[in-house]
Structure formats: structure tokens, C-alpha cells
A and B are shown apart, each in its own frame.
Chain A
């Protein structure tokens, strides 16, 4: 089976812009979670989607949002980008909730 794919892999934006990142889970997986990884803060949970519904949300401002489509693909959106949003954004999928998560390669976002 193909693994989790994320697009784009790299992105450069400027402050104030918005960005949309995409995640395609492993075929058959219905749960998708998003994480932000930075050297200072480590891996931080953003949100989890299952059956097109957000099931959990981490401690991030409302500028961070996401959605999941009927085919389980997911997108996350960050509006009004700030310098501190520069990070590796990782998506992970699992067959069902609370099961092993398989991470994608991530999207590296640089905000200038």
C-alpha cells in the first residue's frame, strides 16, 4: 500500500498570507491527525479528523483549521501567517481512532 502523502513538501510564504496543506492517508484509513513540529516545541497535536468530523483539537489559535473529505483526504489551513508558524507540519493516518499512526513525510513551511 502507498504510504501517507503530503503536498506540497516545501513552502515559502510571507507574513499575513494564508496556506493550505494537503494530506492523503493510507488507503482505507479513516482517521487523520495533524501535528506541528518545531525544534523548540517538539511535536504538538493540532487536530484529529475521523469520518469527516473534527474529534479533537490541540491548543492552537483559530487561525489553524482543517477539514476532512469523504474519501478521508484532509487539508489544513493556516490564515494570517506569522513568523512563528514556520515548522514541519506532519499528517498521520490510522485505520481507526486510537490505533497505530502512520506519519507522512511532512510539509516544511517557512514564513518570511
Chain B
């Protein structure tokens, strides 16, 4: 079945440094959604990317969808301690698996003050 690979698995940064997590698939992604899960919490929706080459920004967060729709990235500029958590990408399938979400393993971000 489809696999969504996410790297890195862990990332430790000093507050103020930038952070990027990458999401890759061997097959074409349908719709990429990004979620954040704080320690002890549940995933919270951040954004959805649908179009090839799409770039969306939310304050310090920049989301990109690859031209070939096989990868996506989330970049955080000047991290803050509130950015701590696990960032997941997931593909919301179309076609015969319409609606099925396949999650990446997540990137655990630690921000040192």
C-alpha cells in the first residue's frame, strides 16, 4: 500500500533557529494535510495543500507541495518554545480509497530556550 515517509524523525533546535520537515511518497499524493500534536495532546489541523507547486504561509510557517506532487515540506522560521510537538503530514486519498488518510511517522520537534 501507499507509504508516506517523513524526515527527520527527530529535530532539536535552539529557540530562534529554523526548522524544516519533509514528507515524501513514491506515488503521487492526492491532498497533503499537515497536523501538529503537542505532547499529551491530539493532532490539530494546520493546513491542506491540493495543487502542484502550491505554497501557503501561516505566520512563521511555510508549507509547500512539490511540483510532481510527490513531496511536501513544512518550514518554521525562528522557532519558539510554543512550536514544540510532533508534526505530521498525511495524504488524503482519492480514487478507490477516497477519504482514506495515510500519515507519515511524524517529526518530533524539541526547542531549547
Contact = CB atoms under 8 A, between A and B. Distances in A.
Contacts of A45: 100-103
Given A42-B105, A43-B106, A100-B48, A48 B43 contact: no
A96 B31 CA distance: 15
A66 interface: no
A16 interface: no
B44 interface: yes
Interface residues on B, range: 20 to 34
A52 B55 CA distance: 36
A38 to B, nearest CB: 11
Contacts of A35: 101, 103
Nearest to A55: B99
Interface stretch (A18-26, A69-77, A79-87, A101-109): A101-109
A26 to B, nearest CB: 12
A71 B81 CA distance: 40
Interface residues on A, range: 20 to 34
Nearest to A4: B42
B88 interface: yes
B105 A48 contact: no
A105 B42 contact: yes
Nearest to B48: A100
Most buried by B among A35, A43, A56: A43
A42 B1 CA distance: 16
A33 B35 CA distance: 15
Contacts of B44: 103
A106 B98 contact: no
B45 interface: yes
Contact of B98 (A33, A59, A97): A97
B97 interface: yes
Nearest to A90: B42
Interface of B: 1, 31, 33, 35, 41-45, 48, 88, 90, 92, 97-106
